[in-house]
Amino acid sequence: MAEADGTPYRNRGWWFPGALLPDWTNPSAGDWWLAKRRYLLTDVGIDGFKTDGGEHAWGDELRYADGTRGDVSNNLFAQRYADAYTALLDDCDVNGVTFSRAGFTGAGSSPCHWAGDEDSTWKAFRASITAGLTAGASGVAFWGSDLAGFSGEIPSVELYVRSSAMATFCPIMQYHSEFSGDLAPHRDRTPWNVAERHDDTRALTLYRRFAVLRARLQPYLIEQADVSIATGVPMMRALCFGFPHDPTVWEHPLQYQFGDHLLVAPVCHENDDSVDVCLPAGRWVDAWTGEQCDGGRVVRRPVPWHEIAVFIDAAHAARLLPVFADLPDGLVG
């Protein structure tokens, strides 16, 4: 792509400043660019690409090879970027994915996506849930965030544990952090670093508990991913998707369905030890206690650190309750 005067466009942002960007509207440029990455699939054997930084085409005055200006094509850059790598995967017969933080209309056709670089704060944690539900409503079925944040000082152990619990019930569960170089103490968001920095082993042991639960959920994740692909309904979705005529669901914007049969209500505020759960009409079963509950009401659910409020559609409780049973308690190191 070029500036208005015809000179090559160079990244104006702080990240890789001055770098050249490929013009995906120029087939020759795209082919040249992707040819240099093909060996990663054919020789190295990777399964996908992190198509990061797709939002760096700035300026209405930019010119693209297809004759469009920046005010028309800049937003499309991120999607064309992911689409190009998806096409490369297909061309190499690799059943892989792209992983993007930017997108536009059609983003769901090139999965997966994540929320970007959040701070490690409770406010950002809540915002990430909103982002996931919004992404789902926009057609992005496979989404995640950097649990407990990416930027700044490391999260508290409480935030790390609550965010890990919520991420267990996301389409994508991951931790990640900005690079702190040789600076000490390190700001890695690994559970062992958070535990060491805070001298609190619960960051590690409770993360392990939720990681085990996540592994047990794999058959359900695969099943519900197939449902999303077949129907276009996101795995992680606001309650209004399933219960559009229940006005109470709008009062619980951080609560959501995870697939067709689980209802999740994360603890999203510091020092909270319980949460109000909106149970829509029907029969629900507490995933941890097995208690059956009538829907059409709001219940107050105590939530110790080693749990997250999850209710199962009663018709599927028999097969899903064992997933939650006999987990490592994670309460001691």
Both tokens of 321, joined, read 């309750």
CA distance 221 to 313: 16
Final residue before a domain boundary, out of 111, 133, 163: 111
Residue 177 lies in a domain: no
d(CA 254, CA 132): 10
Given a contact cutoff of 8 angstroms between Cβ atoms, the answer to whether 23 and 29 are in contact is yes
CA distances 96 to 45, 99, 105, 155, 192, Å, are: 11, 10, 21, 32, 30
Q: Are 176 and 191 in contact (CB under 8 A)?
A: no
Answer yes or no: are the C-beta atoms of 236 and 133 closer than 8 Å.
Answer: yes
pLDDT at 332: 57
54-58's contacts with Cβ under 8 Å and 24+ in sequence apart are 54/78, 54/79, 54/81, 54/82, 54/100, 54/101, 54/102, 54/103, 55/101, 55/102, 56/11, 56/12, 56/13, 56/15, 56/16, 56/21, 57/1, 57/9, 57/21, 58/12, 58/13
pLDDT at 330: 75
Q: Please answer whether residues 307 and 288 qualify as being in contact, where contact means their C-beta atoms are separated by less than 8 angstroms.
A: yes
Dist. CA 277–CA 282, nearest whole Å: 14
pLDDT of residue 142: 93
3-class DSSP assignment, residue 231: helix
User: N- to C-terminal Cα distance for the chain?
Assistant: 55
Task: Give the list of residues 6+ apart from residue 293 with CB closer than 8 angstroms, or none.
Answer: 279, 283, 284, 285, 286, 299, 311
pLDDT at 331: 72
Among residues 82, 111, 140, the one where a domain terminates is: 111
Q: Looking at the domain assignment, is residue 31 inside a domain? A: yes
Which residue numbers in the chain have pLDDT < 70?
Answer: 332-333
pTM equals 0.94
Burial class of 39 by CB neighbour count within 10 A (0 to 12, 13 to 18, 19+): exposed
* Cβ atoms within 10 Å of 28's Cβ, excluding its own: 9
Is 77 inside any structural domain?
Answer: yes
- Is 225 a member of any domain? no
Structural domain contains residue 263? yes
Residue ranges making up the domain that contains 91 = 27-111
Active site amino acids: 52, 55, 117
Kindly state the DSSP code that residue 155 receives in the 8-state scheme.
P
Report the distance separating Cα 270 and Cα 9, nearest Å: 45
CATH of the domain at 240: 2.60.40.1180
Number of structural domains found in the chain: 2
Q: What is the dihedral of CA 134, 138, 144, 148, to 10 degrees?
A: -20
Q: Is residue 294 part of a domain?
A: yes
Q: What is the pLDDT of residue 184?
A: 80
Which of 77, 111, 145 is the last residue before a domain boundary?
Answer: 111
Quick check: is 128 in a domain? Answer: no
Q: Is residue 172 assigned to a domain?
A: no
Tokens of 119: 């701070």
The whole-angstrom separation of Cα 34 and Cα 48 is 13
The reported pLDDT for the residue numbered 333 is 45
Element (H, E) at 195: helix 191-198
